[in-house]
Amino acid sequence: MSFITHLRQFTARSATLVTSVLMLLTLTACQEPQLTRLEQIKKSGILRVVTRNSPTTYYVQKDGPAGIEYELATQFADYLGVTPVFVPEDSIKDIFDAVENGQADFAAAGLTVTGSRSERVRFASPYQSTTSKLVFKQGKTWPRNFGQLNGKLRVLAHSSHSAALLEMKKQFPKLSWTETEEHTQEELLDMVLNETLDYTIVDSVALDLNRRYNTELVIAFTVGEPQQLAWAFAKDNDFSLFSEAVEFFGEQQQSGRVSQLVEQYYGHVAEFDYVDARTFLKSAQEKLEPYKEMFQKSAKDDLDWRLLAAIGYQESHWNPKARSSTGVRGIMMLTQRTAKQMGVTHRLHPEQSIEGGAQYLRRMLKRVPERIGEPDRTWFALAAYNIGWGHVEDARIITQKQGADPDKWVDVKERLPLLRQKRYYKQTRFGYARGNEPVDYVTNIRRYYDVLLWLNEERPDRIELQPGEMVASNDDTPSEAHPRSQLKPLPEKESKSHVD
């Protein structure tokens, strides 16, 4: 082969190689680098949050979405500068599947952190703790442990309660139960009340909320140790969104925002008094009606008549002739001085008393600084209704001096009892006060108010959504920017049993 032929072959091969390299470089230049999950979210402007439709997590009421998970996830979306879209799912299994399959960016659904779950997903910082309670109906035989159960026990499938029972079966081999994917914790509690079931296990927070109006629910015993609630993220090599969540919760905990939300939703339900709850329910059904129209008239357009009614019950149990040794009288228990200021000429006249109480509550609301928003504004006004604004202001000053937030009820209610101690009240303008009383006063009224909402069919229950239905945070109908979810509801399954 001649030199010329070799040269020609070499030149052809070189040209082919150069062409291949140029093509590879062109393709590489056209391809965008792979985006992280966080970058994808910020590019789309949408944060997909899978959640659970429940009073303890996320629900939609007449004026929009609510719930502690809704509040936190919305704050997180604001933190990222994007719009949250919530996808409620009924099945715990579907919630975890959505996270693992990448159909949701994370789950905010009141999920407890367990060892087995941590093998599937990556949990962010815990934000709340809960305990599991075995519940039965008042009047039935009280079991002290799993060995004393005598009847039907049912829990949510794929729940931490199911996992706890599997562990307990090692200690109590005869223990048996069924699991369901067709019911919520609240429905299981209803089944216990109507005696379709004998027992169920629920989270303490859900039980506290339900026992406000379902007073026949009784705690038999606590199951296992306290557990932490946290958001769940996909367990992969992309930590971008997870890291932001950890940083977000660090800031939220430091600012006190998490504790404020917990107090807002659950601060008035932790302590349960069976006798008081039963008495109030009976009174609301038998004694309130003659005064209902009076409360509605005095509430006008700026107050909720049920809040006024709750104050009236706390003050006098709706007794128009009530009087105390300190000189307060009537349904709203007005002092003689307050009655005169409010234009009340006859404190024992129910309509005058209710009108005077409404006017006084308005006066207290005006005393609260405008920068303080709801619901803290109302709680401060109620405390002032009980103890006077001066003492509330003293407690707010103490709160500020101790480095807490004087504009948040959750912080001030911890300092109000300090007004009984000389070392604190001697430094205040208005001096000694029984500061624990307004704390109990506000807590009781909040509880009564919730029950009145429930009795009047305007309770903060969720509007049922179809599984997988996306809901934008502003409650707008999802548009092309907020497409319906790809999540598909699983077909209904029969409950599975765990028997010997």
Q: What angle do CA 141, 147, 148 make, to 5 degrees?
A: 10
Residue range of the domain that includes 396: 275-455
Tell me the two tokens of residue 468: 């997988």
CATH of the domain at 297: 1.10.530.10
- The residues with which 64 forms a beta bridge, in sequence order, are 61
Establish if 304 belongs to a structural domain: yes
Candidates 59, 365, 29; CA nearest to 206 is: 59
Which pLDDT score, from 0 to 100, does residue 471 have? 53
Total-model pTM: 0.64
Which of 442, 424, 349, 449 minimizes the C-alpha distance to 387?
A: 442
Distance (Å, whole) CA 106 – CA 471: 15
Q: Which of 89, 263, 315, 393 is catalytic?
A: 315
Kindly state whether residue 478 falls inside one of the protein's structural domains: no
Residue 190's identity, in one-letter code, is: D
CB contact set of 278 (below 8 Å; sequence gap of 6+): 215
Cβ–Cβ under 8 Å, residues 387 and 430: no
Q: Within a domain: residue 24?
A: yes
Whether 349 is in a domain gets the answer: yes
Give the chain's domain count.
Answer: 2
pLDDT at 32: 56
Residue 26 forms part of a structural domain: yes
pLDDT at 266: 76
pLDDT score for 262: 83
Tokens of 100: 């693992």
Local confidence pLDDT in tens for the 500 residues of the chain: 543 444 355 445 554 544 554 454 444 444 556 899 999 999 999 999 999 888 888 887 656 788 889 999 999 999 999 999 999 887 889 999 999 999 999 999 999 998 889 999 999 999 888 899 999 998 899 999 999 999 999 999 988 999 899 999 999 999 999 999 888 888 899 899 999 999 999 998 888 878 877 878 889 999 988 999 999 999 999 999 999 999 999 998 888 888 888 877 777 666 656 667 778 888 888 899 999 999 999 999 999 999 999 999 999 989 998 887 667 889 999 988 899 999 999 999 999 999 999 999 999 999 999 999 999 999 999 999 999 999 999 999 999 999 999 999 999 999 999 998 888 888 889 888 889 889 989 988 998 998 898 887 644 444 444 445 555 544 333 333 333 333 333 233 334 444 33
Beta-carbon contacts of residue 460 (< 8 Å; ≥ 6 apart)? 55, 59, 61, 66, 450, 453
Which distant-in-sequence residues (6+ apart) come within 8 Å of 452 by Cβ? 284, 306, 309, 310
Phi, psi of 273 (to 5 degrees): -115, 105
Question: pLDDT at position 61, please?
Answer: 65
Does any domain span residue 321? yes
**Does some domain include residue 360?**
yes
In this structure, is residue 290 part of a structural domain?
yes
Catalytic: 179? no
Residues 6+ apart with CB under 8 A from 143: 134, 136, 149, 150, 199, 220, 221
pLDDT of residue 491: 34
Q: How far apart are CA 12 and CA 2, in angstroms?
A: 16
From its phi and psi, is residue 433 left (phi > 0), alpha (psi between -120 and 50) or beta?
beta
Provide the pLDDT for residue 9.
53
